[in-house]
Structure 1
Amino acid sequence: MVDRTRRSNAASPPDGGWGWVIVGCCFMVTVCTRAVTRCVSIFFVEFQAHFGADYSATAWIHSLVDCTTMLCAPVGSLVGNRWSCRVAVMLGGLLSSCGLLLSSFSTSLELLYLSMGVLTGVGFALCYTPAIAMVGCYFHRRKALAYGIAMSGSGIGTFVLAPAVQLLIELYSWRGALLVLSAFVANLCVCGALLRPITVQEDEEEAEGKEGESVGEERLGNISSHDAELASLLPGNPAPQTQRGRSFSSWFLSTKEYRFLLLPDFLGLAVSFLFLASGCSLPFVYLVPYALSVGVSHQQAAFLMSILGVIDIVGNITFGWLTDRRCLKPYRLPCYIFSVAMEGLCCLFAPLLRSFTLLVPFAVLYGYFDGAYVALIPVVTSDLVGAPYLSSALGVVYFLHAIPYLISPPIGGWLVDVTGSYMATFFLSGAALLASSLVLLTVACIRHCHRHQLTSIAKDTKPEPLPLSLSDQSDCTVTFDKEAVSQAVVS
């Protein structure tokens, strides 16, 4: 996100030009963060053989990388807001590259927990959120398409890096492969250097608050009289004053970047993300074991994951392009709700699919709608809270993914151990995804009813027409009640 003391020279985002360079940088950031994180699982067998550890101990490496990346996402937003996105991404690239470099010299799993799990995860967190927020600063009309292209780096990177990492392990062992990955991730510093902030003249600083107010009110909708105090939290309005001095809440509200946390729409969005993160990762973890349990060969099971990755890319780009069309742009939130609900329905029907032929349509549908909702997360967040809060809001959004990402796969595995089948695990995933869509649908319905109520009140309280001017009264006949006039004169 741009510095608070600077704004764009243009009245609106340029929707092109250097913005496409920003999209390319964000694409590479998603490749170097999310795709590399997914490829960590390729090292599992090597780590187990070298350190003599079991699967559960080794699996914590992947969980720590993923959890730390999401858990520290607000730190990336804070660094991007206080200094610049360029500083955040370059610093993150340096930390993550050093983390992978140190991992190549590790002599125990505990050192890998610290170097790869924590240090690399923090570096990824510093890069991920600011790079995504920068896309929103450069695009408005084609925002969904830009985000679709940028977020497709996760699927494309996984598709390309997975066989490349396996080849590196065969040629140079796991230590040499981590050294090469360290050099590859160092390209994040180059991407950060290209994240050019949008600058303006200093005298336009005051207009920022007014713009934030109009954008925030437009995105969040009308606020009821009960929420009148929350309206003062929008940029350009004074913070509410209390008689109890500077309490924690007043200190919290004085922090500009996080005032949106008290807005009802974002609270509903946050609850839906908790359900979403609890269910979206389970199919990626348990699809291959489930396919093997119903008699699908190892090659076909691996091919299902390839289908998921490729169709995920298609969903990123095509759904982003579709929701940028004029007919669908006002309905981005319903499109997001639809994509999450379709993922949930796919998971509910997954236990009924007991052959490779039936599992292929599942992989296609789930992969497509997974790519669709991933591309729309930044767009929906921006539409709800407004561009001035996008970087901080994305940090909170990805922070909410951390704990569910950490605990949902073990819970799914526990259900498999207890029930002896994968049905309960897929039902848990489907129920969580449907709950996420239901929460957002409820929020959208409340907003619609509230707006309709306000519109009705506005019509009922329409002011009376002004009296005619003297020129308009020239042809009017005016009569007086003589008795009333005489009484008025006497009084």
Structure 2
Amino acid sequence: MASSRRARHAGPPDGGWGWMIVAGCFLVTICTRAVTRCISIFFVEFQAYFGQDYARTAWIHSIVDCATMLCAPLGSLISNHVSCQVGIILGGLLASTGLILSSFATSLEHLYLSLGVLTGLGFALCYSPAIAMVGKYFNKRKALAYGIAMSGSGIGTFILAPVVQLLIEQFSWRGALLILGGFVLNLCVCGALMRPIALKEDHKTAPEYLEQDYALKAQKRDLKRMSICSPLIKVWSHECLCYCSWKEYDFLLMPDFMVLAVSILFMAYGCSPLFVYLVPYALSVGVSHHQAAFLMSILGVIDIIGNITFGWLTDRRCLKKHRHFCYLFAVGMDGLCCLFLPVLQNFPLLVPFSFTFGYFDGAYVTLIPVVTADVVGTSSLSSALGVVYFLHAIPYLVSPPVAGWLVDTTGSYTASFLLCGFSMIFSSMLLCFARLAKKIKRAQLRSLTSDTGTKQHIWTNGAIAYSVTAELDQKNFEFLASDTNSYSNR
């Protein structure tokens, strides 16, 4: 009911407090996605301390990513029905608790639960609601706003990667996790910035709609005499749940969203292992620890440029109608980078790879919420983003351990990187063919519509001609009948 008291805006303000929302989302991406990427720097430390192989150690990173994306609909649900501010503050507390508990870990299983499940759940409550809030405040400059907000992932990676490496050297991995736990508490500050906004295009919420409806029925039936625990409450709760489920997730039946969802599954499978194995791969080809961390920093800072420049470019008139093709082009380029990675076996060659992969990674990450908003609309964006990030969960969970198993089995990273590259290229091609098929079908429908319109025009003219002819025949018949009667009277 509090949302009904807010002033409704005719449309997104495209500025004002919206820039504070962008700043808050920027900090959220630093504290969630950048911290998740930097967990790969702990990979070698965990492997050496616990004496485990690649596959078992990779589960830590995959569980964090999986929990973050798997619980994304929960973050959207809390944001829609309670408050975006409450969801992000609660997520910050959970994520910080998970990192602090991870600093006391005595086994990989302990890290699976604390660093994987608990921290990932906290990140889930923060990530998708913060991104959806940017879409509420911006329309004309939506891609640019998302570019700035999502660049927090690259900036955070650029800054945190060497800092985390330094913290590990100075305080061991336990001390580094403890400090990261305190840093992640800044999510609570980000949550305080997320001021809700009510747009006229948004539909009424289910509780308001049903409460008004049943209040009228209650007055007519004089339900004041009945007990508080009347069957009305059961009916209200049942219909409220059905209404919420249908109105919030009816976009799941849209063909465009289905194709986007399938393509995201393959894209998520291909992009996740690289952030886990780039540092170990660099170390395996003779790159030093500081240079390997520097590769992550390069990837992060170029990621920022990709976020902002691609966001700005796709807001231009010439590209605004082709955001889907810009998205699939960026995904396809990242796939090609993964295919060429096995032949890059020294630091000078890995630096251009970090530049290229980082730029296009930032490009498509920026366009994910923009393309989703173009498909489902602003009113369903929060729920749709929850589903989109939920679809990342299984690939994020499976792909790093599968890549680690391939490394353990084959003794090299070639098979893992080739699988990632082909997966991302398939994702891009799938979306490309779907868009082309839609254009061909639309052209066929237009031609059929034009033919049908011509036939309808001819039929209508024929009907008019027929009716006019019938009317003239009727008048002639009446004229002849009158002549006959007059002749007989004579």
TM-score range, shorter chain: 0.7 to 0.9
Aligned residue for 1:138?
137
Name the counterpart of 1:244. none
Name which of 384, 392, 407 aligns with 1:401: 392
Q: Cα distance 1:489–1:394, how it changes in 2: closer, same or farther (>3 A)?
A: farther
Structure 1's 460 and 357: CA in aligned 2 closer, same or farther, altered over 3 A?
A: same
Residues 67-117 of structure 1: CA distance to partner in whole angstroms, max 9, x if unpaired?
111111111111111112111111111211222233334444433322222
Identify if the C-alpha distance between structure 1 residues 3 and 272 changes in structure 2 by more than 3 Å, giving closer, same or farther: farther
The structure in which a higher percent of residues are helix is: 2
> Unmatched 5+ residue regions in structure 2?
205-237, 461-467, 482-490
Amino acid at match of 2:73: P
Higher mean Cα deviation, 376-385 or 344-353? 344-353
Give the conservation status (yes or no) of the 8 Å contact 2:162–2:294.
no
Change (3 A) 1:329 1:405: same
Kindly tell me: are residues 482 and 393 of structure 1, through their superposed partners in 2, closer, same or farther at Cα, counting changes over 3 Å? closer
Going from structure 1 to structure 2, the CA distance change for 1:102 and 1:362 (only over 3 Å counts) comes to: closer
CA distance in 2, matches of 1:27, 1:335: 23
Which 10-residue stretch deviates more, 49-58 or 257-266? 49-58
1:270-349 correspondence to structure 2 within 5 Å: 270-291=261-282, 300-349=291-340
- Structure 1 residues 482 and 108: alpha-carbon distance in aligned structure 2, compared to 1, 3 A threshold: closer
Amino acid at match of 2:88: V
Quickly say closer, same or farther: Cα 1:490–1:46, change in 2 above 3 A.
same
* 1:430-445 mapped onto 2 (5 Å cutoff): 430-445=421-436
- Contact 1:3-1:81 at 8 Å conserved across structures: no
Matched, 1:455 2:442: no
Partner of 1:259: 250
Deviation for aligned residue 1:309: 1.8
Alignment of 1:322-401 (within 5 A): 322-401=313-392
Deviation at 1:273, TM superposition (A): 0.5
Aligned to 2:184: 185
Q: Mean Cα displacement is larger for which, 290-299 or 355-364?
A: 290-299
Moved more, 425-434 or 320-329: 425-434
Indicate yes or no: 2:418 matched with 1:427: yes
Asked if structure 2 preserves the Cα contact closer than 8 Å seen for 1:87 and 1:192, the reply is yes
Task: Work out the CA distance in 1 between the residues paired with 2:271 and 2:2.
Answer: 34
1:14 aligns with 2:13: yes
Deviation at 1:269, TM superposition (A): 0.5
SS state of the match for residue 8, structure 2?
coil
Alpha-carbon spacing, 1:172–1:483, altered in 2? closer, same or farther (3 Å): closer
Task: Provide the secondary structure at the position in 1 that maps to 2:316.
Answer: coil
List per-residue Cα deviations over 1:253-275 (Å, max 9, x = no partner): 95321111111111101100111
Q: Is the 8 A contact 1:28 1:188 kept in 2?
A: yes
Is the Cα contact below 8 Å between 2:128 and 2:386 reproduced in 1? yes
Given that 1:3 and 1:84 are in contact with CA atoms closer than 8 Å, whether structure 2 keeps it comes out as: no
CA contact (8 A) 1:6 1:198 kept: no
C-alpha offsets along residues 329-388 of structure 1, whole Å, 9 cap, x if unaligned? 111111101111112222233344455444433322221111100110000011011111
User: Which range moved further: 337-346 or 174-183?
Assistant: 174-183
Is 1:39 aligned to 2:38, yes or no? yes
- The residue aligned with 2:70 is 71
Further displaced range: 455-464 or 479-488: 479-488
**Structure 1: 5+ residue stretches without partners:** 211-246, 468-477
Please tell me whether Structure 1 or Structure 2 has the larger radius of gyration of its CA atoms. 2
CA distance in 2, matches of 1:107, 1:480: 97
Kindly provide the amino acid, as one letter, of the partner of residue 349 in structure 1: F
What letter matches 2:128 in structure 1? T
- The aligned counterpart of 1:153 is 152
Aligned counterparts of 1:278 and 1:424: Cα–Cα separation in 2: 14
The C-alpha deviation readout for 1:275-320, integer Å capped at 9, x for no partner, is 1011112333344454555565655544433322221111111101
Deviations 1:407-432 (A, max 9, x none): 11222233344444433322212211
Q: Report the AA paired with residue 345 of structure 1.
A: L
Instruction: Please state if 1:487 is matched with 2:477.
Output: yes
Q: Which moved more, 1:157-166 or 1:172-181?
A: 172-181
**What is the rounded CA distance, in whole Å, between the counterparts of 2:161 and 2:473 in structure 1?**
99
When residues 483 and 75 of structure 1 are mapped into structure 2, their CA distance, relative to the original with a 3 A threshold, is closer
1:139 Cα deviation (Å)? 0.5
CA distance in 1, matches of 2:146, 2:103: 34
1:140 maps to a residue whose letter is N
SS in 1 for 2:318: coil
The aligned amino acid for 2:328 is I
Residues 167 and 355 (structure 1), Cα distance of their counterparts in 2 relative to 1, 3 Å cut: closer
Q: Distance in 1 between matches of 2:184 and 2:53?
A: 28
Aligned residue in 2 for 1:470: none
CA-CA distance at 1:188 after TM superposition: 0.9
Change (3 A) 1:488 1:78: farther
Q: Answer with 448-457 or 382-391: which moved more.
A: 448-457
Distance 1:180 1:438, change over 3 A: same
Secondary structure (helix, strand or coil) at the match of 2:317 reads coil
Q: Classify 1:281/1:197 alpha carbon distance in 2 versus 1 (closer, same or farther; 3 Å).
A: same
Residues of 2 paired with 1:482 and 1:54: CA distance?
A: 96
> What's the secondary structure of 1:197's corresponding residue?
coil
Q: Secondary structure at the match of 1:328?
A: helix
The aligned amino acid for 2:60 is: I
In structure 1, C-alpha distance between the alignment counterparts of 2:203 and 2:126, rounded to whole Å: 27
Instruction: Specify the SS of the correspondent of 1:196.
Output: coil
Q: Is the 8 A contact 1:253 1:259 kept in 2?
A: no
